[in-house]
Copies of this chain bind each other. A is one copy, B any other.
Amino acid sequence: MSFETKASAVSLAPGAAAPGPARASITSFTLANGMEVVVIPDARTPVVTHMVWYKNGAADDPLGQSGIAHFLEHLMFKGTANHPQGEFSNLVAELGGQENAFTSYDYTAYFQRIGKEHLATLMAFEADRMRNLVLTDEVVDPERDVVLEERRMRTDSDPSAQLDEAVQAALFAHHPYGIPIIGWNHEIEGLGRAHALAYYQRFYTPENAVLIVAGDVDADEVERLAKDTYGKIPAQAAPPRRARAQEPPHRAHRLVTLRDEKVEQPAHEQVYLVPSYSTAQPGEAEALETLAYMLGGGPTSALYDALVVEEQVAVGAGAYYMGSAVDDTRLWVYATPAPDVSLQDLDVAIDRVLRCFGEEPIDAEHLQRAKTRLIADAVYAQDSQVSLARWYGEALATGLTIDDVVAWPERMEKVTADDVQNAARKWLDKRRAVTGFLLPA
């Protein structure tokens, strides 16, 4: 039960897509009630990963009810008319399984990993809480306090998290990606049973859900089980439309400075508004993925090499591209200054590295190494069945297709030096970026 931050998004790099099992081995179908099902074979162990993705996240929170997607995620663990609170989680634990849930900007997901013989049980429980959640004041009110405490712990007492909130709010003046996933405190305080119930009824429907099953399972068997469980839930209505305000074009640079006595280590971040895998022109997201990696993906990257190794103005530096998003998204560049280096001086140094990257020819070997590495990382990450399932779920929940995921390595291979450099010149425009300074009081 958690809300995602950019940190967890990083661990998901390279974004929405990864090479996986052969396309032909992946089965997908739609139940009569509109629920999508994807079955991904993975026979390495007798284990199955079962995930339900709802295509609603924090960016779909109704106006004035920020945090409700995340709040609902908490409430989904509170018991149903058929199974009291704790029964599902205890059962998963007793059977030796794991479970978790997460809320992001574009989706909310629930998953379990367990011995494959228990798949039918998981599906029955998960289908049950898609329909039969008990939302009384006695359940809702104390959980709101839990969320408020979570916000106090994770955001309000952490200057770095506060700066991130302020930077995203500045980057997204109009689009709801500027609102924190956990919600604004004063709006969480206003959430009650009626909001939770209305939200649950609108969004927790089969038409709005995607089931991902990865593991040593037979697609026909999964289909039979899905029909017996999720398939019994009547279709509710058309899936909810994502009606989000879109960003106006930005013309000004914004510098957000947070000073707090709790800050011991100053930090620099810079965020650019860029297309996502779902909004980009063909090849553009892959170019941004490569760009972020070449700029800041580890100790051989341009930023690290220039700032940490060569100039020694920073003790750390990096970049990442949050490619998986329904709408236009963010590319971050960040650095930690060396002692006695001001953030202003570091800022100048970062700008110089970015400008040079856009102007000087890109070494073909560097480019190939970056692409190979990104693809290899994706392959290695599939060692985790949960990561494998998650890539497909995240892609489908943000408007992509199974084919998009499968063809990702191929598209990555096609990225040229020109593509990367064009992306750098086009999107890394400081005049429209948001810079964040974290400083001691």
Q: Which residues of A contact B (CB under 8 A)?
A: 63-64, 162-163, 166, 169-170, 173-174, 178-179, 184-187, 243-246, 248-260, 431
Contact = CB atoms under 8 A, between A and B. Distances in A.
A429 to B, nearest CB: 12
B174 A252 contact: no
B253 A256 contact: yes
Given A64-B243, A170-B170, A173-B169, A258 B248 contact: no
Contacts of A184: 174, 248
A252 B245 contact: no
Contact of A166 (B186, B243, B245, B252): B252
A186 B246 contact: yes
Identical copies of this chain, number = 2
Contact of A170 (B64, B173, B245): B173
A255 B166 CA distance: 12
A162 B253 CA distance: 12
Contacts of A169: 173-174
9 contacts: A64-B245, A166-B250, A166-B251, A169-B174, A173-B178, A174-B179, A186-B246, A251-B258, A253-B259
Contact of A252 (B162, B246, B251, B431): B162
A319 B63 CA distance: 33
Looking at chain A's contact residues, the main secondary structure is: mixed
A178, A246, A251, A253 pick with most chain B CB within 10 angstroms: A251
A166 to B, nearest CB: 4
A348 B124 CA distance: 65
A272 to B, nearest CB: 16
Nearest to A434: B254
Contacts of A178: 173
A63 B245 contact: yes
A261 to B, nearest CB: 12
Nearest to A180: B248
A183 to B, nearest CB: 9
Nearest to A62: B63
A411 to B, nearest CB: 29
A435 to B, nearest CB: 9
Nearest to A441: B431
Given A173-B178, A243-B64, A252 B256 contact: yes
A254 B251 contact: no
A151 to B, nearest CB: 11
A127 to B, nearest CB: 33
A277 B174 CA distance: 27
B248 A185 contact: yes
A399 B376 CA distance: 62
Contacts of A246: 186
Contacts of A245: 63-64, 187
A258 B173 CA distance: 16
Nearest to A431: B259
Nearest to A173: B169
A364 B371 CA distance: 71
Contacts of A166: 173, 250-252, 254
B252 A254 contact: no
A66 B257 CA distance: 29
A158 B97 CA distance: 61
A342 to B, nearest CB: 14
